[in-house]
Chain A
Amino acid sequence: MGFHNIEEINNIVSTIPFIDVLEKFKQVGIFLEGKTSVNLEGLNESLNFDVQIFPQYPLKSNDSEAIKFINKDLISYNHVMGDGSICIHTLHSPKLKQKLLADFESLKAWIEKYYINKNIDSHYEHVIINEQPFDDIYYSYQFTDVDYSFSKGEFGQVDLTPLSNGIYKKKPISNFLIKSFQPLKKTIKINSKWSEYYMNFEVKNIGLFLFLEDVPAFHNRFAFSNWLELENYIPTDFLQFLYDFQKRNKKHKNTFLPIFFGYKTVENEIHWISTLVKINEIPTIGIPVIDSKGVKLKGQWESKLINRKINWAITRNSSYKYLFGRGTFCDKITNARILIIGVGAIGSMVAKTLVKCGAKNISIVDYDVKEPENVCRSEYNFSNGLYDKTFELIKTLQENSPFVNVNFHNNNEYFESFIKAFHKDKEAKKEYEKSLNQFDIVFNCSTDSDLMFVLDQLKLSTDLINLSITNHAKDLVCAFYPNIYNYVQNQFINILDNDVDDLYNPTGCWSPTFKASYNDISLLTQYALKEINRKYEENKPKDNFTLSINSGNNTNIKFTQY
């Protein structure tokens, strides 16, 4: 059975003015295949394309177009894949005619932009690598920035630290981080700029690196696929180094050794690609050294690369720029030293959101423990069981970003009780002020009115922000130092409808808590954080505000600026 009306497709294509049909579409297996020729102003001669239509057409499949325009002679041009197919992405349309016309228009646009006008994209297109499993297991290596400038031909050892094992494209995968580089002829260790947490991971594996500087790829786009293609890129002393390494590690002959090749992309950025070779299968051969007269020098051998396919492993640039490239809070927040006091529902959401939005330095303080029933509306996991809140949250935050350093603040569980006891003492007060002022931003999410009162009495240069909600997460109150205590009190007592009768009573003696779901709380918390970010980004005055859920026919959030 065919998937398409072939006649209709042929009719439509024949109406496109810049297309000559060389061979009409016919069914070949599950595909339709045809040949067309494109004639455009600016083209010296027409360009021919094999056209392949997939059964899903006009729908896309796995985010790719279900039509391919192929011309292998065009491989050196931008946005052409290894099989010679032009990479196009066009509009969605379930209508065959509209989609066909759009796709051919898109082909025409590609020819005009990249073939005729030879445009260069403003963004960098990374080298295309055919990532392969090794003995049916994928290996991935993530790298980040280092404070070091590699020179061409520099090589040495790479320290690797395992991240986790998982499933990737239905096969097992072993994930690693590149922790550091040790150039052979130097005594330095070049550390990756991961957070302390990741840098404290143990080194369990090693690899080798060679900085090529130049891109080991055809047309700067298709990574080499045979070791011989690297002949002019790899210096002989590295081959000797490989040979020596092999000799020293004979007993590990079946172990995979990752070899990393580095090159420059844009703005001196370095990218690493990696292959794995078994130690006894290093792709070199020893050949005798020949003098200028063609005579073999006795006992002198040198290594040469051999004709063998390169299988590429997976590497990813996971530097801050790439990891957070899709969106962050503004620099004033991400670069700030931030303290979060109280990491319950709101506090844990604030912490996690800050980390997901690129914050680099967070301290937390809370005396409380996480109970299983806290899980449903906070950033804690059931799988961890009962846990000190700060300890679990630190773990969660570190797991979310390799660029955040998370710390406990000031004796952690004793902070709240000590500050309340000692804040009237002049010297102690000064010490608390000093310790809080070392932060740029302090979020008080403790919802503790006594603590709020005490903090409001201190002379602070830090930005103190108090966040709390009313029962049912009906309202959120955000107050900025120094206008916190009176404002928040007046909001809760006089302005907002804080229903304290309808509370939830969990197990335990007299410990009623508010009723609200994760969705209720995070909705308001995210809104508040967005507004706080805006205030920092646009340098707006840090004036207090409230958010109130208005549940009429629709859900509305009313924002009131004070």
Chain B
Amino acid sequence: MATDKTQHLQQVLETHRMAHIEKLLDKYKEKRQEVKEALEENYKDKIYNPINSGSYAKHTAINIKFDLDIVVPFKRNSFDTLEEMFNDVFDFLYEKYKDVAEVRKQKVSIGIIFDADDNGDEINIDVVAGRELNQDQYTEDHNLNLFVNSQYGLLDEKTYIQTNIQAQIDHIKGKNNERSIIRLLKIWKTTNNESYKSFFLELITIKAFDKESISGNLWDKLKSVMEYIKENITKDNFTLKDPGNTNNDVADTLEDWEKTNLSNKMSNMISNIENNSDNIKTYFPINEEFEEEDENKGQYGLKDASIVAPSIPNKSQQFG
């Protein structure tokens, strides 16, 4: 039976809403507040007010995989070097949480993964330490330099990047159509174990809406964005400017072969879904945990009535 693609996608978005995991989210927020306060207490007037960032702040979060991010803006004179700042924040967090969490250095942030609680919930908080470029400049434009932990970077030398978290958050403000598509692509990425970065998918979706006239129902919009990616990602002059720093080209984070693979993938997805609408369920699955049950069927939780027979293999039976 054919699937109504837009109806399905709406259900996908609905079942992946953060609202379904309010209790868990509260735990996250609590932990984030705790970390924030610890940082404020430790660094006092060396820092400006830490801010929330990441997908939750941008309203692009999905409930199957997320973390909460804190950006800690350091004043220019707090540390001599960015590396010292990065290591100091790591040492502080490590000492504070080593018994209750795994604290690790990541590419530009420090990850804290708190041990699972009694309900089996693991909480991830990412801390991004940045330093203003010049004395008192942060309050004016929010530009920060981040330390790049070299083992993750392409460069051998330890280096830094300039960014502007606030500009990144502002970049997506009010863009509700874009947000839906970004969330769908993040659901695709997460459920199909694709390695593309969320920030990359976010920027390319916004650019697609910017460059093309994207309209119609949810599937039409998603398809247009996928077609935009398919057509443009492999072009030589294609760039994705980081709104936090226009000198950063986020498209550069993909190798040429990765761009080709992504283009092919988009092409396969579109044609497979168009050929058989049920394929949409492979690429964009519903989060069954929060799927509303159809109470009219009277199957007390058994979804597929056709499997009720004494011993007949159902359609999911593999052979060979």
Interface residues of A (CB under 8 A from B): 344-347, 445, 447-449, 452, 467-471, 473, 477, 482-483, 486-495, 498, 500, 503, 510, 512-514, 516, 521, 541, 543, 560-562
Contacts and interface: CB of A to CB of B under 8 A. Distances in A.
Interface of B: 3, 191-193, 261, 264-265, 268-269, 272, 276, 278-279, 281-282, 285, 310-320
Contacts of B269: 562
10 contacts: A452-B318, A468-B319, A488-B318, A490-B285, A495-B278, A500-B313, A500-B317, A510-B311, A512-B313, A562-B272
B320 A500 contact: no
B276 A492 contact: no
Given A445-B320, A468-B318, A562-B268, 13 more contacts: A448-B318, A449-B318, A486-B282, A488-B318, A490-B282, A491-B282, A494-B281, A498-B317, A500-B315, A512-B313, A514-B319, A516-B319, A562-B279
A471 B313 CA distance: 11
Nearest to A494: B278
Contacts of B278: 490, 494-495
B315 A469 contact: no
> Binding site of A, secondary structure by majority: helix, strand, loop or mixed?
mixed
Contact of B320 (A449, A468, A482): A468
A495 B276 contact: yes
Contacts of B312: 500, 512
Contacts of B268: 543, 561-562
Contact of B281 (A449, A490, A492): A490
Contacts of B285: 486, 490
A452 B311 CA distance: 21
A521 B317 CA distance: 16
B191 A469 contact: no
A470 B276 contact: no
Nearest to A561: B268
Contacts of A513: 319
Contacts of A445: 320
Contacts of A487: 282
A500 B313 CA distance: 6
B316 A489 contact: yes
Contacts of B276: 495
Nearest to B257: A539
B318 A503 contact: no
Contacts of B261: 541
Contacts of A521: 320
Nearest to B313: A500
Contact of A495 (B279, B310, B320): B279
Contacts of A560: 272
A487 B272 CA distance: 13
Given A495-B279, A562-B282, A449 B191 contact: no
A561 to B, nearest CB: 5
Contacts of B191: 486
Most chain A CB neighbours (cut-off 10 Å) among B3, B310, B311, B318: B318
A344 B320 contact: yes
Contacts of A471: 319
A500 B311 contact: no
A494 to B, nearest CB: 4
